[in-house]
Amino acid sequence: MNAVKSHEVQLRWRDFDGLGHVNHPVVLTYLEEGRDAFLESCEIGRVDYVVGRCSVTFRKEIRLESDSVTVECGVRELGNSSFTTSERIIDDRGEVAVEAEFGLVMWDPALPGSRPITRRERSALMPAGEREVDRG
């Protein structure tokens, strides 16, 4: 897997539900924020993609007492026009609250449709020698 990048997300009052924990759809927003920060850190410029698949496992609640969480993101697998990220949300105690995996498809809005991952994107997303999958 590519080097994992971390991104801190400040929790907002509106993120919490009546039970005093972060509401589950907000977790997807935290993951998206972390993923966007990861892609920005790859220095490949604007990347248009769509989410083709997501799997989220909630390990523990994120409580009202928390000020922030850390989102970790890295590329696990790279295909011809898509890639898979492994992502985690770590609470302010250092415990894993959420684990997720996203299948992201590179997108060309002019088509509209999927497009191949460029050489530049490929080398930025996955260092040489890492796992790549040929999907034909």
Kindly report whether the global pTM for this prediction surpasses the value 0.95.
Answer: no
3-state SS assignment for residue 28 = helix
Residue pair 23/98 in contact (Cβ under 8 Å)? The answer is no
Tell me: the pLDDT tens digits for 66-87?
899 999 999 999 999 999 999 9
Residue 129: predicted pLDDT: 42
Residue 1: predicted pLDDT: 58
Locate the domains of the chain by residue range. 5-110
As a whole number, mean pLDDT of residues 88-102 equals: 97
Rg, Å, the chain Cα set: 16
Cβ atoms < 10 Å from Cβ of 124: 19
Q: How far apart are CA 99 and CA 59, in angstroms?
A: 7
Architecture of domain 5-110: Roll (3.10)
Residue type, position 135, single letter: R
3-state SS assignment for residue 30 = helix
Tell me: the pLDDT tens digits for 4-62?
899 999 999 999 999 999 999 999 999 999 999 999 998 888 889 999 999 999 999 99
